[in-house]
């Protein structure tokens, strides 16, 4: 065995959910005395956590595996693409082992087999909150794995399996230990946050001497007690989500909802087989805003879905104008190998999808600009992410990291990442705000 503790190189690709998997694997590795190497060359073995969501992600994953093989030669592959070992082994027959998504035990036993751990009495020095790949002041909190829906453009249920919720006490324990370790913002993620607990029949569990159901509203309420910002992602607009909105109005949970609407035309939503496709989403948004006027809604959409007619696309634009969403992402539909939507007739030509994308984004940009301008003169609390020269780059309650805009604070070089700051908004662009510190 080498003189140094066994060293693992780790490559993490894909979405925040994959990032959480990486954090868990790294936590286990560190707990067992493995070191994490910053270079391929210094590592005894490399683990690549892959993404297999769309073809571009598959290519990126295959390329990352190739690079790790070239520079190191001993590679274990895990993650979403790992659910299709044939695809990996065909291109890279030299990989030591392929394991699927959410298969921590399999990854660990593959690592043990090819690079046995060294017994070390100091393994307990591992920080209780585990190893995180996000900056110290925010962390993703994964509440469930898998999905019981069957959206026709998505292969995640095939890759990650059916919904498996973590019991509420386990989630709260992790959240509390993250906050104790200095985390100021928790980002709740899953494939379908509104469905949390349905698979375990909302099983109650004891937490701090009281019984709570493994259910979204209970979870949000208890998370709101921890004193950190709580941000909810991937929330489908089911009726029971209404119960969470008063917690936002009371300031216990951030007034922010990431709702992946994907489209607004009832016919397209039906073809997409979206959950909650028959809900009157405009009425729901209006009701939410009447309870919590500061609510910021983020969403993502797909244009050019197979069979999308000009009329259906116009319905989407009209809906967007009515809904006045604050933050919007948009994708042009692209076929994913194995997705049911590939069988639908009338694929939309690429140039039509591109033109619709441009029209959609123009409309979304105008709405975002209007809504951000309305914040000029407001005072708000922000969380600093970085310092850029003399300015601090921060986020308000309405901005999730990585995907939304930022608040740039002038003359704030004395602040540091993770600091809170109270600011007054001076100006707005299409996506970002400019602000000054207030005493």
Question: Which residues of this chain interact with ligand SF4, rule CB under 6 A?
Answer: 147, 149-151, 154, 156-157, 191-192, 275
Q: Encoding tokens for residue 163?
A: 């919904």
Shortest Cβ distance from residue 163 to ligand SF4 (Å)? 9
- Residue 16 or 275 having the CB closest to ligand SF4: 275
DSSP for 233-293, written as a single string: -S----GGGGGGHHHHHTTSS-SEEE---B---HHHHHHHT-TTTTS-HHHHHHHHHHH-T
**Residue 51 or 435: which CB sits closer to ligand SF4?**
51
Q: Which is nearer to ligand SF4, 34 or 140 (CB)?
A: 140
261: its two tokens: 């609407």
Smallest separation (angstroms) from ligand SF4 to the CB of 154: 3
Least distance to ligand SF4, CB of residue 114, Å: 32
| Contacts (Cβ under 8 Å, ≥6 apart) of 403 | 298, 327, 329
Closest CA relative to residue 434, chosen from 399, 325, 424, 365 = 424
Least gap, CB of 15 to ligand SF4 (angstroms)? 10
Indicate the residue among 221 and 274 with the shorter CB distance to ligand SF4: 274
| Short-list 187, 346, 330, 221, CA closest to 271 | 346
87 vs 233 by CB, closer to ligand SF4: 233
CB nearer to ligand SF4: give 147 or 428. Answer: 147
Compute the least distance from the CB of residue 50 to ligand SF4, in Å: 17
The first and second tokens of residue 386, run together, are 């970085």
H or E stretch at 138: strand 138-142
Q: Are 306 and 271 contacting, i.e. CB atoms less than 8 angstroms apart?
A: yes
Q: Rank residues 260 and 398 by Cβ distance to ligand SF4 and give the closer one.
A: 260
Q: How far apart are CB 146 and ligand SF4 at their closest, in Å?
A: 8
CA dist 382 to 49, 184, 254, 333, 425, Å? 33, 11, 12, 35, 11
Compute the distance between CA of residue 231 and CA of residue 143 in angstroms, rounded to an integer: 13
Q: How many CB atoms lie within 10 A of CB 351?
A: 9
Least distance to ligand SF4 from the beta carbon of 276, Å? 10
- Note whether 283 and 237 are within 8 A (CB): no
Tell me how far, at minimum, the Cβ of 281 lies from ligand SF4, in Å.
15
Q: Which positions ≥6 away from 220 have C-beta within 8 Å?
A: 188, 230, 232, 244, 247, 252, 253
- Nearer Cβ to ligand SF4, position 194 or 396? 194
**Cα–Cα distances in Å, from 348 out to 150, 275, 303, 327, 345?**
22, 23, 9, 26, 9
Which residue's entry shows tokens 């809504």?
Answer: 371
Judged by beta carbon, residue 160 or residue 231, the one nearer ligand SF4 is 160
> Token digits for 127?
């920080």
* 49 or 262: CB nearest ligand SF4: 262
Alpha carbon distance 161, 148 (integer Å):
8
Let me know the angle formed at the C-alpha of 253 by 247 and 257, rounded to the nearest 5 degrees.
95
Q: How far is the CB of 314 from ligand SF4 (least distance, A)?
A: 24
Min separation Cβ 150 and ligand SF4, Å: 6
Task: Give the residue among 277, 270, 275 at the shortest CA–CA distance from 341.
Answer: 270
CB of 165 to ligand SF4, least distance (A): 14
132/160 with CB nearer ligand SF4 = 160
Which is closer to ligand SF4, CB of 199 or CB of 225? Answer: 199
Tell me the sheet residues that pair with 75: 46
Q: How far is the CB of 7 from ligand SF4 (least distance, A)?
A: 35
Q: Report whether 8 contacts 115 (CB < 8 A).
A: yes
């Amino acid at each position: 065995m080498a003189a140094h503790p066994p060293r693992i190189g780790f490559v993490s690709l894909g979405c925040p959910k994959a990032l959480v998997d990486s954090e868990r694997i790294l936590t286990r590795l560190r707990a067992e005395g493995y070191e994490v190497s910053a270079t391929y060359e210094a590592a005894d073995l490399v683990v690549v956590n892959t993404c297999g969501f769309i073809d571009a992600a598959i290519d990126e994953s295959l390329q990352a595996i190739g690079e790790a093989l070239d520079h190191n030669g001993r590679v274990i592959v895990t993650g979403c693409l790992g659910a299709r070992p044939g695809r990996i082994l065909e291109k890279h027959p030299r990989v030591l082992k392929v394991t699927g998504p959410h298969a921590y035990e399999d990854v660990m036993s593959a690592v043990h087999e090819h690079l046995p751990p060294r017994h070390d009495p100091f393994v307990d020095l591992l920080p209780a909150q585990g190893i995180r790949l996000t900056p110290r002041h925010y962390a993703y909190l994964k509440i469930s794995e898998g999905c019981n829906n069957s959206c026709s453009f998505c292969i995640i249920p095939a890759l990650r399996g059916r919904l498996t919720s973590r019991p509420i006490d386990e989630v709260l324990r992790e959240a509390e230990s993250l906050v104790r370790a200095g985390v100021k913002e928790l980002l709740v993620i899953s494939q379908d946050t509104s469905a949390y607990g349905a698979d375990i029949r909302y099983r109650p569990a004891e937490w701090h001497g009281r019984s709570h159901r493994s259910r979204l509203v209970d979870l949000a309420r208890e998370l709101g007690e921890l004193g950190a910002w709580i941000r909810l992602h991937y929330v489908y607009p089911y009726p029971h989500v209404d119960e969470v909105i008063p917690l936002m109005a009371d300031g216990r949970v951030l007034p922010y909802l990431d709702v992946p609407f994907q489209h607004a035309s009832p016919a397209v939503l039906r073809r997409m087989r979206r959950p909650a496709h028959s809900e009157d989403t405009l009425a729901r948004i209006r009701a939410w805003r009447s309870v919590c006027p500061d609510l910021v809604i983020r969403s993502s959409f797909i244009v050019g879905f197979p069979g999308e007619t000009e009329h259906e696309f116009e319905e989407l634009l009209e809906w967007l104008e009515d809904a006045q969403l604050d933050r919007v992402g948009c994708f042009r539909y692209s076929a994913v190998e194995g997705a049911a939507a590939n069988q639908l007739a009338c694929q939309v030509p690429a140039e039509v999808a591109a033109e619709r994308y441009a029209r959609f984004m123009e409309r979304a940009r105008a709405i975002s600009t209007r809504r951000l301008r309305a914040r000029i003169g407001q005072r708000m609390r922000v969380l600093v992410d970085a310092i850029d020269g003399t300015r601090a780059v921060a986020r308000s309650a309405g901005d999730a990291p990585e995907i939304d805009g930022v608040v740039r604070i002038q003359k704030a070089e004395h602040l540091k990442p993770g600091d809170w700051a109270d600011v007054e908004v001076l100006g707005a662009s299409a996506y970002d705000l400019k602000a000054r510190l207030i005493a």
